[in-house]
Structure 1
Amino acid sequence: MSSYRVLVAGFKHETNTFIKQPTTMEDYKKRRLVYNDEIIRFFTGTKTEIGGFIDTAQKEGITLIPSIAADACPGGRVEKKVFNHVRDAIIKTYKENQPINGILLSLHGAMVLEGYPDGEGLLLESIRQVTGYDLPIMVTLDLHANITEKMRFNSNGMFPFDHYPHVDMYERGVEAATNLFRMLRNEIKPVICIKKLPILNPCLESGKPPHKPFLDMALEWEKNPQVISVSVVSGFPYADIHDATMTVIAQTNNDPELASQITEEIGEAIIKKHKDFVKYTTPLEQAIREAVEAPEGPVVIADVSDNTGAGAPGDGTHVLRKMMEMNVKNAAFALITDSETVEKAIEAGVGSSVKVSLGGKSMPEILGDPIEAEGIVKTITDGRFINKGPMSRGLMNDIGPTVVIDFDGIEVIVSGRRIQPFDPEIFRRMGIEPLDKKVLVVKSMVHFRAAYTPLAKKIIDVDVPGPCPQNLRLLKLENVRRPVFPLDEIE
């Protein structure tokens, strides 16, 4: 049994700065706020980064010292008091559990605080002020991390997801833990090189062009024994900060020249293809017509601009309203966030008719007004379900009391808590078999494709107004570095 003791913590948020409502401690409590030994119980057996930390430590005989794991649904800027709480919890664990030989952190990389643009960089810097710079710190990050120099300077290794949908969370956790343990045994001396690119990526899939060829280049470089890891990071354009652009990261074993060579080679190759980093969507009425007229179902319509996974409120009504106008039948919709409607449906009871003012409460000027309609309450549940698809498999979701209301052939899931419906289990938990439906609607951008592609006959991304459009020219970006594509011409 090794004598090494490693602190484990997580602090995640993907911040959409175009959402005015701040992210509070209550938002973290709604999604995930776990302390101390409960972290081990919660994440053991899950295909998550912390699940990867746990399995690797058990295999290596490393003792983990769990501190705090905090995760909130993407949204507006994180309140500073939330940041202070998590930072203080990590530092308290570090001080009270000496000796600590290293730290593993599960972060996102696109956290913006009230009054500060780089949440992860500030967290790492704050920890370093206590630990000094001799203690190894490795972090996992999202593919949509906005990489900063402060993040690089204050960590010994950064391991972003390679894939979008994020089906490799667990593998990146294993990779970060394995390399931390290698560093503890003096087997490696990591150096990190980053290259920021003048490109805003509209959250494109990693498994298709234009992203895939550059991911393939990164994976090819990783075959070099001197290379620890290489990452092509998309960034998150809905966080309007200076560093919200694509980044290439190369990490080598004490070979800064090689790391620089890799980032330059891949970075320049990406810049040559920068005009390919755009996303085209389908007009709403055309998308619905294609879905209804398709010979077989289910056809999945993705409302990408109201994607809660990118910080949107999830109560947009454009798609549902048009489906009602076009008299769509045999459809299921995931989901509308609306606690008032949930309360009305529960009060009415299963089988009862209920009149509601559905959705459209958070940003009606952008996402559409509430829909005044009458439907039948089909299902009432506690909103708890376990992911069974490729992404975050085994993780428990709890979105609170959730109902299904049937609006003349369109079964709409309504919850008081936001969630990105990337796993079909959200339908099944609500009594809806997605394979039996002609049309499925999900408020998601790309994550849903991991689990829905095998069951969908066709997938259509629709173009409607929202706070996370994939046409980035629609965003009123003020702080991102310039020049940057697609806002400017670049060479």
Structure 2
Amino acid sequence: MKTLFIGGMDTETNSFSPLPTGRAQFALAFGDGTSRPLNSCSAQLAVWRRMAGAQGLMVHEGLCAVAEPGGFIPRAVYEDLRDRLLDGIARARPAMILLALHGAALAHGYDDVEGDLLERARTLAGPDTFLGATLDPHCHLTDRMVGAADALVLYKEYPHTDIDDTAADLFAIGIRTLRGTARPVMATWDCRMIASYPTQNQPMRGFVDAMRAAERDTPGVLSVSLAHGFAHADVPDVGAKMLVIADKSRTVARATAEHFGRRFYALRNQVTPRFLDLEAAMERIAAHPGGRSPLVLADTGDNPGGGAAGDATFMVHAALARGLENIAFAMFWDPVVVEICMAAGVGARLDMRLGGKCGPQSGYPVDLAGARVRAIGTAMRQRFGSVELPMGNAVWLEAHGLNLIVNDLRTQVFDPVCMTALGLDLGTQRAVVVKSLNHFAALFAPVAGDIIHVATPGTTSVRYGDIPYTRRSPDYWPRLADPLGTGAS
């Protein structure tokens, strides 16, 4: 019986984040991730385990390591996790290796963690073992990664609602290769673009649908992926790239990658959200009458899902300066405030200093006089795709007409439950401000009067043309209007 090895290492590194991603930041499972409550990484391993059983493969499950995006991984931490994963491969001696990776992890001494891991896995397993990986579209698609793997398949949706489907797609390519009915070859095309590309709105919706149609209808095409790139990493390969896997024909792979790459490039001025500045965002809130459908605003510069601290105060200060009320904010990462509130109990009134603790990119703390502790939640969870993720302990503070959700486990906002589970009725709020870039949209859209992306200052600033890269050449859009020289705007 042939053996399938499954494992994963999933985190995203922001070069500009002040928060190291140490060992304590990783949720670790050593061969038993699929028997625990699933996260976005181990859920893929569970898909592969089920599909392997149907195909008569023996499964060897290895390390599954997941960390919230943050700063660099210490070298010793990465090397230990990598070597544990590789040791599992060596012991399994598999015919097929499937890894759930991110694609934008950085460690001290390693500016391409996934490339390093895949190359070592290839050397260990040999040329005849199928080596495949799933990747988050916010990855750096490097030549090392493509050269080492047989197949890389990326989630297509942002918000990432298709993680399990992507895992299944990779398994299908792997099993066909193992059975000798396919021979995957990969090709990439550099779009020379750095930005954010939500897929729920047109024209990105149509572009993703076209990629799926090509997989279904184009002879010889096994997979079409768009690497959006992760803008907040100072590495040479940051930026959007197309990736195509074809069956046997590198010519088909290259031609299809270029076709979709040029098509995406032509949409460059249409595929990113419109970002309002702080002043314009406050004007929108002031003009909104409230009711059952609040405005939902993304505090994009302080997105923990991109490595930010989650304690920036710019939007709260702006609301207080204008005397705006009935605004909910979620979630501030401030374990000190949570601890004090839990000790004081529900109903307590406290003078609190909130946020602004992790450096200049977090702004100044907010002093809240007589803040009321409205509710306390312990070991809370929120939905992300097919899984529930922890958000730690949380408190609802009410002060100066504002409602502030504060938690002690740094994470971005995915789900209104981070507020509603504490008893906050969003229908009573004029606006809801969430620390996220786009993942919140999947579950907030049904309750939102409108969704607004705000270009706030911070570690995950969306002013992409101004990111202070030192290792990435400046020949990209939007820093340049037409870096490929097509003559089209």
CA-CA distance at 1:402 after TM superposition: 2.0
Q: Does 1:217 align with 2:210?
A: yes
Distance of 1:225 and 1:454 partners within structure 2: 39
Quote the Cα distance in structure 2 between the aligned partners of 1:135 and 1:332: 52
- Residue of 181, 185, 192 corresponding to 2:179: 185
Give the whole-Å Cα distance in 2 for the aligned partners of 1:44 and 1:476. Answer: 33
Counterpart Cα distance in 2 of 1:142 and 1:479: 22
Equivalent position SS for 1:173: helix
Q: In structure 1, which of residues 412, 424, 427 is the aligned counterpart of residue 404 of structure 2?
A: 412
Which one-letter code corresponds to 1:289 in the other structure? E
Once the two structures are superposed, the pairs formed by residues 224-239 of structure 1 within 5 Å of their partners are 224-239=218-233
- 1:173 correspondence with 2:171: no
The gaps in structure 2 that reach 5 residues or longer are: none
The Cα shift of 1:473 comes to: 2.1
Q: Structure 1 length as normaliser, TM-score?
A: 0.92
Q: Secondary structure at the match of 2:78?
A: helix
User: Quick check: 2:196–2:272 contact (8 Å CA) kept in 1?
Assistant: no
Aligned: 1:398 with 2:390 = yes
Q: Distance in 2 between matches of 1:321 and 1:284?
A: 10
* Structure 2 match to 1:205: 198
Question: Which shifted more, 137-146 or 293-302?
Answer: 293-302
> Which residue matches 1:312?
308
Change (3 A) 1:276 1:459: closer
Structure 2 CA distance for aligned equivalents of residues 433 and 188 of structure 1: 53
Alignment counterpart, residue 457 of structure 1, candidates 426, 429, 449: 449
Structure 1 position 105 matched with structure 2 position 103: no
Verify the 8 A CA contact 2:465 2:477 in the aligned structure 1: no
Aligned-partner Cα distance in 2 for 1:272–1:437: 39
**1:210 to partner: Cα distance:** 4.8
Q: In 2, Cα distance between the equivalents of 1:47 and 1:214?
A: 29
Q: 1:22 aligned to 2:10? A: no
Instruction: Name the counterpart of 1:74.
Output: 69
Alignment check: 8 A CA contact 2:311 2:355 kept: yes
Aligned to 1:324: 320
Task: Answer yes or no: is the 8 Å Cα contact 1:43–1:50 preserved in 2.
Answer: no
**Partner in structure 1 of residue 278 of structure 2:** 284
Contact 1:109–1:146 (8 Å) recurs in 2: yes
Q: Aligned partners of 2:36 and 2:381: how far apart in 1?
A: 17
Letter in 1 for 2:448: A
Amino acid in structure 1 at the alignment position of 2:310: G
- Identity of aligned pairs, percent? 27
Give the TM-score normalised by structure 2: 0.93
Pair 1:45–1:345, CA change in 2 (3 A): closer
Secondary structure of residue in 2 paired with 1:194: strand
Evaluate the alpha carbon distance shift between residue 386 and residue 245 of structure 1 in structure 2; reply closer, same or farther with a 3 A threshold.
closer
Contact map agreement 2:198 2:272 (CA 8 A) in 1:
no
Q: 2:295 aligns with which of 292, 295, 299?
A: 299
The Cα shift of 1:277 comes to 5.4
Give unmatched runs, 5+ long, in structure 1: none
The 2-side partners of 1:21 and 1:4 are apart by 42
2:464 alignment counterpart: 472
Q: Which deviates more from structure 2 when the two are superposed, residues 373-382 or residues 234-243? A: 373-382
Residues 332 and 441 in structure 1, CA contact (< 8 A), matched pair in contact too:
yes
Pick one of 76, 86, 98 that aligns with 2:81: 86
Q: How many residue pairs get matched?
A: 479
Q: CA deviation at 1:270?
A: 2.8
- Cα drift, residue 233 of structure 1: 1.6
Q: What is aligned with 1:373? A: 368
Aligned match of 1:338: 334
The answer to whether the Cα contact below 8 Å between 1:45 and 1:51 also exists between their aligned partners in 2 is no
Task: Within 5 Å, give how 1:81-160 maps onto structure 2.
Answer: 81-98=76-93, 100-160=94-154
1:52 aligned to which of 47, 54, 58: 47
Find the aligned partners of 1:146 and 1:46 in 2 and give their Cα distance.
18
How far off its partner does 1:170 sit? 0.9
| Mapped partners of 1:126, 1:184: distance in 2 | 21
- Tell me the alpha carbon deviations over residues 62-104 of structure 1, each in whole angstroms, 9 at most, x when there is no partner: 3321111111111111112221122111122123334x22111
Instruction: Give the 3 Å change call, closer, same or farther, for CA 38–236 of structure 1 in structure 2.
Output: closer
What secondary structure, in the 3-state scheme, does the structure 1 residue paired with 2:158 have? Answer: coil
Q: What residue in structure 1 maps to residue 439 of structure 2?
A: 447
Residues of 1 paired with 2:349 and 2:317: CA distance? 19
Counterpart CA distance in 1 for 2:32 and 2:2 is 18
CA contact 2:33–2:64 (8 Å) conserved in 1: no
1:351 partnered with 2:347:
yes
Matches within 5 A, 1:3-42: 3-28=1-26, 32-42=27-37
Paired residue for 1:253? 247
1:307 positional shift:
0.8
Cα separation, partners in 2 of 1:325 and 1:24, compared to 1, 3 Å = same
Task: Give yes or no for contact 1:138–1:176 (8 Å, CA) kept in 2.
Answer: yes
Q: CA deviation at 1:215?
A: 2.7
SS in 1 for 2:397: strand
**CA 62–386 in structure 1, closer or farther in 2 if over 3 Å, else same:** farther
Find the aligned partners of 1:270 and 1:298 in 2 and give their Cα distance.
33
**In 1, distance between residues paired with 2:77 and 2:150?**
25
Tell me which amino acid in the other structure corresponds to 2:174.
L
SS at the partner of 2:387? coil
C-alpha deviation, 1:235, in angstroms: 0.7
Q: Is the 8 A contact 1:315 1:360 kept in 2?
A: yes
- How many angstroms apart in 2 are the aligned matches of 1:337 and 1:76? 16
User: SS of 1:193's equivalent?
Assistant: strand
Q: Offset of 1:10 from its aligned partner? A: 1.0
The residue type equivalent to 2:3 in the other structure is: R
Label 1:473 to 1:42 Cα distance change in 2 as closer, same or farther (>3 A): same
Using the alignment, how far apart are the partners of 2:423 and 2:55 within structure 1? 43
Residue 45 of structure 1: how far off its partner (Å): 11
Report the Cα distance in structure 1 between the residues aligned to 2:145 and 2:315, rounded to whole angstroms: 39
CA distance in 1, matches of 2:45, 2:372: 42
SS in 2 for 1:454: helix
Task: Identify which of 423, 431, 435 aligns with 2:423.
Answer: 431
Distance in 2 of aligned mates of 1:357 and 1:173: 44
Deviates more, 1:323-332 or 1:153-162: 323-332
